Amino acid sequence: MEGIIAAISTAWGESGIAIVRLSGDGCRDLVNGIFRGRTDLSSTPPRFMRQGYIVDEKGMELDEVLAVWFKGPFSYTGEEAAEIQCHGGTVAARKCLDLCLSLGARMACPGEFTQRAFLNGRLDLIQAESVLGIIRSRSDRSLQAAAKCLRGSLSTKVAEIHEEMLELSAFGEASLDHPDEDIPPLDPRSMGERLSGISEMIRLLLSSARSGRFLREGIKVALSGKPNVGKSSLMNAFLQESRSIVTSMPGTTRDVIEEVISHKGVPLRLVDTAGLRAPRDEAEEEGVKRALDAIRESDIRVWVIDGSLPLSEEDREIAKTLMDPCCVVAINKSDLPLVVSERSVEDILPGTPVRVISAFCGQGIEELKDQIVLAVAGRTSLDEDLNTTERQVEELGKAMDLTISAMDALSSGTGLDAVLEVIREARECISRILGISTDESLMESVFSNFCIGK
C-alpha cells in the first residue's frame, strides 16, 4: 500500500472528541513526531493509550490528546495504524490533521481505510460494503443485518454459489479438454440439475436481498391523493408530531416532505406529496412535478381519500396513476359520517387492500402501517439477516439470468463449450460480488460511497 493516509474520522462540527486516524507503515513514528507525553509512542506497546499533547512545529502545545497505535496486521486496515483523540470542534482536529499532512501523510480518499482493509485481506468486498451498511443503518434491524454481513454471513452464502459454479465449470472444461481420459462424460441431465440448484440458491439470496434493502434503506411510501383529503394529517399521525403544515385550504403542501419512522423495526420513508390537481401557479406546478417524481420512485403509494365526500372523477383519475407497482388505499376521516365504502374503492382498484382510518383520532393507523409492509414485502415484519447493496443485487440478478440462459442452452442441445461460456460469465458476476476479480472501476464504485475517514 502506498504511503501513510490520514483523515478526521469523526463527524464534522462541535463534539466531545474528534479522532484523527492514520494508516500505513511508519505512521506511529509520524504521530510520535508531534506527540509529547510522559512516554513516547515509539516505546509504547501497540493498543496502549497514552495521554499527552500535540505540538506544532515551534513546539507549541495545541491540544491535550490520547494517542494509540496498532501494529499490522492487527488493525482495522491490516497495516500499521494510529489514532489521535483530540478535543472535539473543528480547529483542534483540523490542526492535528494538518500537522500529520505536513509530516508526509496524505489525505485519505473516501473509504480508503476500508479499502486498505479489503486489499490487505482483512475483509472481503461484501464485508467492506457492510461497514457502509452499519454507518447508514436507520433501524435496529438494519444495523443487526449489516453487522451480521460484516461477520461474514452473506459472504459464506455467495462463496457457496461461487464454489458450486467453479466445480461445475471445472468438471465441464475437463470433459471438453480431455475427452479420452478417465473423466466420466458430462451428463446433460445432471448438469441441468446442478444449474437449477445454483439458480435456486441465487433466487433465495435475491429474495432476502429485497428485504435487506428495505431494512437498510427503508420502504419508500408516497402519500398521495387529491388536495385536502388529509395526507399531511396522516403524515403527522404517523409521526405523532406536527411536521408538515395542515390547513383547510386546498393545495397547501407545495413541496415534498420526507420523514423516516420505524415500524416494528422496518424503516418507512414517508413522503407527503403535494396534492395532485391541475396546478394554479408556478410553485404548485413544481410541487406537483416533485410529487409525481416521488410517486414514481416509491415502493408503495398510499392513496388517501376523504371518506366524508363522494368519490370524484379527479379521484378516479389519480387512482389510475397509482396502481403500479403497489398501492394501499386509506379511506380517511372515519370520525365523520362516511359516504365512501370499501366496496366502491375495490371496484376502482380491484385487489388493492383498503383500510379505513382517521388521521385525527389515530384510528387504523397501526393497521395501515402493517398493511404497507405486508403489501411491499409479503410479510408484516422483516427479520432478514442479509444486508445487500444495489451493486450486489444487480450482480446477483445478472448471475441469475445467465444461469437460466445456461439451462435453456443446455436443454435446447447447444454445444457444451457455449454452455460453459455462459456459466463462466455468471461466475464472473459472483466473483465481482466477492471482490475476487477486482478491477479499478469496481473499487472506485464501491469505495467512493464511503465517507472520508472510514
248 part of the interface to ligand GDP, by CB under 6 A:
yes
CB of 201 or CB of 291, closer to ligand GDP:
291
Interacting positions 358-387 with ligand GDP (CB under 6 A): 358-360
Place of cell 451498511: 133
Which stretch in 241-249, 365-373, 395-403, 442-450 sits in contact with ligand GDP by CB under 6 A?
241-249
Tell me the closest approach of the beta carbon of residue 203 to ligand GDP, in angstroms: 40
How far apart, in whole angstroms, are the C-alpha atoms of residue 21 and residue 97?
A: 9
CB of 53 or CB of 360, closer to ligand GDP:
360
Which stretch in 45-53, 166-174, 246-254, 317-325 sits in contact with ligand GDP by CB under 6 A?
246-254
CB of 172 or CB of 275, closer to ligand GDP:
275
Tell me the closest approach of the beta carbon of residue 372 to ligand GDP, in angstroms: 18
How far apart, in whole angstroms, are the C-alpha atoms of residue 37 and residue 53?
A: 6
Interface size with ligand GDP, residues (CB under 6 A)? 20
Interacting positions 219-238 with ligand GDP (CB under 6 A): 227-233
Which stretch in 20-28, 188-196, 202-210, 355-363 sits in contact with ligand GDP by CB under 6 A?
355-363
DSSP codes joined into one string, 274-292: PP-S--SSHHHHHHHHHHH
Build a one-symbol-per-residue string for 256-285: x at contacts with ligand GDP by CB under 6 A, - elsewhere. -------------------x----------
CB of 50 or CB of 333, closer to ligand GDP:
333
For residue 185, which phi and psi values (nearest 5 degrees)? -60, 145
Tell me the closest approach of the beta carbon of residue 345 to ligand GDP, in angstroms: 16
307 part of the interface to ligand GDP, by CB under 6 A:
no
How far apart, in whole angstroms, are the C-alpha atoms of residue 301 and residue 441?
A: 36
Residues 6+ apart with CB under 8 A from 397: 206
Tell me the closest approach of the beta carbon of residue 368 to ligand GDP, in angstroms: 12
Q: Sign (positive/negative) of CA torsion 307, 310, 314, 317? A: positive
Q: Which of 103, 135, 246, 404 binds ligand GDP (CB under 6 A)?
A: 246
Which stretches does DSSP call E strand in 273-356? 300-306, 327-332, 354-356
**Cis status of the peptide bond prior to 325, with omega within 30 of 0:** yes
**Closest to 25 in 3D by CA, of 66, 68, 69, 86:** 69
Which stretch in 90-98, 245-253, 278-286, 380-388 sits in contact with ligand GDP by CB under 6 A?
245-253
Angle between helices 140-150 and 188-217 (to 10 degrees): 140
How many whole angstroms from its chain centre is CA 288?
28
Given strand 61-70, what is the order of strands in its sheet? Answer: 35-37, 50-55, 61-70, 81-87, 17-23, 5-8, 106-107
CB of 52 or CB of 251, closer to ligand GDP:
251
Q: Point out the residue whose Cβ comes nearest to ligand GDP.
A: 230
Place of cell 463462466: 424
Place of cell 408530531: 241
314 part of the interface to ligand GDP, by CB under 6 A:
no
336 part of the interface to ligand GDP, by CB under 6 A:
yes
CB of 109 or CB of 309, closer to ligand GDP:
309
Q: Which of 10, 211, 253, 389 binds ligand GDP (CB under 6 A)?
A: 253
Q: Which of 29, 56, 259, 335 binds ligand GDP (CB under 6 A)?
A: 335
Exposure of 169 in the CB half-sphere (CA atoms within 13 A): 18
Place of cell 399531511: 232
First to last CA, the chain: 16
Tell me the closest approach of the beta carbon of residue 234 to ligand GDP, in angstroms: 7
CB of 42 or CB of 247, closer to ligand GDP:
247
CB of 231 or CB of 427, closer to ligand GDP:
231
User: Grid coordinates representing 244?
Assistant: 408538515
Place of cell 436443454: 411
Footprint of ligand GDP (CB under 6 A): 227-233, 246-248, 252-253, 275, 332-333, 335-336, 358-360
